[in-house]
């Protein structure tokens, strides 16, 4: 149960940082890869951020679904 709480907290933090990176401006935006509106789109740098987010979420799922450790006393 505590493991899922950790997963939710870390997932929320990583998702928040990802949102900040995608919506903000930074040096290596790169060219627009996908146009969403006239003034907005996904840049090459955004795809790198989204890939990192997906890897982090997959790692969290694997950690959450891992076997529970049984402590012998």
Asked whether the beta carbons of 7 and 63 are under 8 A apart, the reply is yes
Quickly tell me which residue has 């997906």 as its tokens: 54
Q: Determine the Cα–Cα distance for residues 11 and 31; give it in Å rounded to an integer.
A: 28
Q: pLDDT per residue over 15-38, tens digit each? A: 999 888 888 777 777 888 989 888
Quick: pLDDT tens for 45-62. 888 889 999 999 999 998
pTM: 0.72
Q: What is the reported pLDDT for 23?
A: 82
CA atoms within 13 A on the CB side of 69: 6
């Amino acid at each position: 149960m505590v493991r899922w709480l950790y997963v939710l907290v870390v997932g929320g933090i990583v998702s928040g940082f990802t949102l900040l990176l995608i919506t903000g401006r930074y040096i290596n935006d790169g060219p627009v890869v996908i146009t969403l509106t006239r003034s907005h789109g996904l840049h090459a740098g955004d795809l790198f951020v989204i890939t990192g987010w997906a890897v982090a979420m997959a790692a969290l799922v694997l950690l959450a679904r891992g076997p529970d450790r049984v402590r012998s006393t």
